[in-house]
Amino acid sequence: MDLHLDLTDEFERTIRMAKFLGFSTLGLDLEKSYDLKEKVTSICRKEKVKCIFRANVNEFNRSKALKEDVIYIARNVNEARSTNIPFYLLEAGNDIDEVLGVKEFCARRSNINFVIEFDFALLRLYDGFSFANYMKGLTKLMNVCRRRHIVTIFSSRAKNLDELVPPRTLYIFYKILGGYLTRREILYEIPNREIIEKLDLGPKVFGRSE
């Protein structure tokens, strides 16, 4: 499962490629081209790949209603603090300061109604010491998530075909951050249980404690 693709063009080829790599479910961010939703849905249906759509938490704040087949995303801690949505995904952060901010947020938040998302594409922005620094921040965040039983998911944040990341590499990323669960659990069972099944049951199920 790859729950973060920022597709702008080449939809069909990228979705076919994701299927070739072994993904069964894709999370598509069509914020800038939302009118293409039906076209993308039909491509996914043709390729027999399940797709869900991503929307910003501000959209929920505006409409005050949950939509089915949509997962809500907070891009930073400020968005997460200001929302009253029952369940959302919080991105781990683009730089070390944001990552440490998310870490503090995770460590102090009493109501855990969110999932942390680690994006692989951001690793391509760094090299040398900055890379080591960023990875160190992610490892600290991962440790807090494990201690507080916060669900983590790993995705590619691919913008086009070439930026897709194979499932095996996503699992290697998880292992480097100090994870110990199996590949199937990390890339299929946990996201399926925590996100997809809840979406299938309808939006009302979100926010219930297990």
What does the longest C-alpha to C-alpha distance in the chain come to?
46
- Regarding 49 and contact with other proteins (CB under 8 A), the answer is no
What is the smallest separation between the CB atom of 148 and other proteins, expressed in angstroms? 27
Residue whose C-alpha is closest to residue 172's, from 118, 132, 96: 118
**CA distances from residue 83 to 75, 79, 90, 148 in whole angstroms, order as listed:** 12, 6, 12, 21
Q: Which of residues 120-149 bind other proteins (CB under 8 A)?
A: 120, 123-124, 127-128, 131
Count of residues interacting with other proteins (CB under 8 A): 23
Q: Which stretch binds other proteins (CB under 8 A): 14-22, 53-61, 108-116, 138-146?
A: 14-22
Q: Which stretch binds other proteins (CB under 8 A): 3-11, 90-98, 106-114, 155-163?
A: 155-163
- What is the spatial distance between Cα 94 and Cα 105, in angstroms, rounded to a whole number? 15
Q: Which is nearer to other proteins, 84 or 128 (CB)?
A: 128
- Regarding 169 and contact with other proteins (CB under 8 A), the answer is yes
**Centroid of chain to Cα 182:** 19
- Regarding 96 and contact with other proteins (CB under 8 A), the answer is no
The footprint of other proteins (CB under 8 A) covers: 13, 16-17, 20-21, 120, 123-124, 127-128, 131, 161-166, 168-169, 172-173, 175-176
